[in-house]
Structure 1
């Protein structure tokens, strides 16, 4: 039977409409994926701008390990407190290496090249599962320039057979940094590191059954904590290898986890031989989705380490200028930027949770005010992670230094426990953090 023209045309229009509806539905589903994406110099989550107030929680996977190794009850309580304060983005250590360092963390996720502690990897599974339940995002870093988790110098030791270059024993930090930067050009070390990357990034969560690469809880993979091209005292012979390492490693991770973002974990200019131009050069690669920088005024002698109140105002002025410089650079590069570490000592250089934090509170408030101003202006700053959440962690050691088996605080093993930690009892600082989180969330799209 022959169909009339109007009937055929109607069927065609109906089919086209259905296809358009299906396409719109598919686009909407993709937009609602839960993965953080980059659009120009901003983050986007489910079609809306994503900005955050976060924390460093480096030991999260350790707490998540099975009880007897970790402390899952403490982890759940810590996550609940952070979430209640508006903190929903956590930067976490995802790989550590067994080492001979005096101040290295123990146990380690990697006991030797190619061998991994399944209990600690299960701790990362548990952490991500609990974060997903609370709608939190994770930034996971896969190495460390510094000695406290083994890191790059441990890879160098494994590859060369040399003993670790331990700055906590020798006091030679410049020599340590140059030794750590040898890592970028040692092929065997890079092969082991890439195996570690594939082990973590390619893992399937044993609790949720979700592959890490399909889990929107993971916002970003970071190449390392504070990777540097070496010491700023000895020129920059390692810079070409460092820049190539960033490009190649970021490209590897992008291939493994195309739904998630990649960043370096850099401190910015101070971690780039004190040269903002070298920072830019190292991050021009399209394989790096967004920039990071850190802010440590007392470590960098902008503020007195033993009495942060003494030179606080001048240190703040230098700190705010450092923030503005990096946000401006990110804007010119067309990439978002995150202040992914910042902190200040307790009053009088004390470590006790009962000691004062007036200078720190002033510092936090000023930093948050500047970040919020730049966000309100539509600039490239997308978020921050203070260093660091110490929560319930406490030490009873008279020298304040961590020992294997002690509770974890926000301060890693090479630093006094209480140096930069924000404890659960630091009510005034926590309210400043929470107020900033509320202000960020209230920003117009």
Structure 2
């Protein structure tokens, strides 16, 4: 999810000839299907199911981008221990945290976790106690509490140092976001960071999967250029980067981290104020093509997100015939059908609504539809109570803060004391666990 501000953008953009990214020369067949000789404890897949040590692995997981931002081992332990006790088997978090050099004094003063410092066309890596050693402990603690981690390499959005930090330093003044996917110098620096992370943890069974980017789109906080919308540029980039990761690590699963946008020949039409336009989630303008992306040999499973109230605010009003709940059900079914046809697993990797009443009304049906179609289920986002660092009150960055011992709340967060919401996921976790025996 975009953490900083704006609701996700509903737009259309022009189409002009594509720019083709390069490709790595690797044996991509190593990423397809069930790989032999996978080390014990490594998550794998067989057809549409995840597998762990020769057993099906069905799961409810969650998201905790803030987990490596915690400053004490005790709070990391508390979070993973409590999550596992609730039935959460997989936690997705950021494998990135980057800052500009001008932010370094503040980062040091506030004890902010950071892995990269940018002050030129090449970043400097922080291997120290306030840097990758914190991620080291998260990986170690995940193994201790039997939680698998999905690690994302960067962010489409600016939050915590995403793609546009690369753009701003390597191609300053660029008017477009999608140069991230085509510029050789940017790709080289992205891959340099990927190699640092993969090399550090490739032997760990605590890693469930590597994720190429959180919510890759043609646009970010910068607009899309002419060479991305409707051109499958992201499919080319996903192939290039998944092949590269596979060349570094023959065993761990790899996924996109995408929102699951489709690129259909006949996308649905949305009518607003008497004007019809094709739906951004289906017309290729976002840049993804869920079905073609999932067919890539080194993409092991599909991901998609649901933020229907953010995506369609203009359609949600009293008396409208648009149903956010029904739209979500359809979105889940469409991804399940596509993944089944292609023959790979799929995860409902993020979903959230701000209203507590909407959570109660919509989540049971959405979760049940995902259970019925044998998904992995990962709501955004897990909330932890009882954090003790800084006396239980600490501003992390932006508006993200620990308040009275509670982890950051972006209005989508669910906590154990919200019993009705919590029970939706613990019930589903029990069902998934029974399928894994």
CA distance in 2, matches of 1:110, 1:97: 5
Could you tell me how far 1:368 is from its partner in structure 2? 1.1
Question: Offset of 1:94 from its aligned partner?
Answer: 0.3
Q: Determine the structure 2 residue equivalent to 1:421.
A: 413
Q: Report the CA distance between 1:96 and its aligned residue.
A: 2.3
SS of the equivalent of 1:249 reads helix
CA positional deviation for 1:72: 2.0
Alignment size in residue pairs:
363
| Residues 7-35 of structure 1: per-residue CA shift (max 9 Å, x gap) | xxxxxxxxxxxxxxxxxxxxxx9577111
**Contact 2:97/2:161, CA 8 A, preserved across alignment:** yes
**Greater relative contact order structure (CA < 8 Å, 6+ sep):** 2
Q: 1:132, CA displacement in angstroms? A: 0.7
1:94 correspondence with 2:95 = yes
Which of these residues, 189, 197, 200, is aligned with residue 192 of structure 1?
A: 189
Find the counterpart in structure 1 of residue 339 from structure 2. 330
Question: Is the partner of 2:309 in helix, strand or coil?
Answer: coil
Say which of 138, 143, 152 aligns to 2:163. Answer: 152
CA deviation vs aligned residue, 1:243-296 (integer Å, no higher than 9, x gap): 221101101111111110000001002799522773223332211111111111
Structure 1 residues not aligned, in runs of 5+ = 1-28, 64-69, 164-177, 204-211, 347-356, 376-380, 412-416
- The residue number in structure 1 matching 2:277 is none
Q: What SS does the aligned partner of 2:99 have?
A: coil
Residue 133 of structure 1 and its aligned partner are, at CA, apart by: 1.1
Q: Compute the displacement of 1:396 (Å).
A: 8.7
Q: Could you give the per-residue CA deviations for residues 310-329 of structure 1, whole angstroms, max 9, x where no partner exists?
A: 98992110000000001101
Query: In structure 2, how many angstroms separate the alpha carbons of the residues matched to 1:311 and 1:439?
Result: 35
Distance 1:271 1:338, change over 3 A: farther
- Asked if 1:387 is matched to 2:380, the reply is yes
The alpha carbon displacement at 1:222 in A equals: 0.3
CA distance in 1, matches of 2:405, 2:115: 16
Which residue among 154, 161, 180 is the counterpart of 2:172?
161
Match of 1:6 in 2: none
* Per-residue deviation, residues 161-189 of structure 1 (Å, max 9, x unmatched): 239xxxxxxxxxxxxxx832220011111
Alpha-carbon contact 2:48-2:340 (below 8 Å) kept: yes
Give the drift of 1:88. 1.4
Q: Distance in 1 between matches of 2:55 and 2:314?
A: 38
Q: What secondary structure sits across from 2:435 in the alignment?
A: coil
- Structure-1 residue corresponding to 2:85: 84
- Closer/same/farther in 2, CA of residues 160 and 234 from structure 1, 3 Å limit: closer
CA-to-partner distance for each residue in 1:112-131, whole Å, 9 max, x for gaps?
Answer: 23312223211111111111
CA distance in 1: counterparts of 2:399 and 2:123, whole angstroms: 27
Deviations 1:29-58 (A, max 9, x none): 957711111211211111111111001011
Most deviating of 140-149 and 106-115: 106-115
Structure 2 equivalent of residue 320 of structure 1: 329
Contact 2:178 2:225 in 1 (8 A): no
Q: Which secondary structure does the structure 2 equivalent of 1:275 belong to?
A: coil
Question: Comparing 36-45 with 246-255, which one deviates more in the overlay?
Answer: 36-45
Structure with bigger gyration radius: 1
Deviates more, 1:41-50 or 1:233-242: 233-242
8 Å contact from structure 2 (residues 116, 124) kept in 1:
yes
Instruction: Give, in whole Å, the separation in 2 of the partners of 1:235 and 1:244.
Output: 16
Q: 1:344/1:32 Cα in 2 relative to 1: closer, same or farther (>3 Å)?
A: same
Separation in 2, partners of 1:74, 1:235:
43
2 CA distance for matches of 1:59 and 1:47?
32
1:72 matched residue in structure 2: 73
- Out of 53, 65, 68, the residue aligned to residue 61 of structure 1 is 68
Q: Counterpart of 1:213?
A: 202
Secondary structure in 1 matching 2:133:
helix
Q: Would you say 1:443 and 2:435 are equivalent positions?
A: yes
Tell me the distance in 2 between the aligned counterparts of 1:432 and 1:442.
16
Shift of 1:235: 8.6
CA contact (8 A) 1:53 1:87 kept: yes
| Bigger share in helix | 1
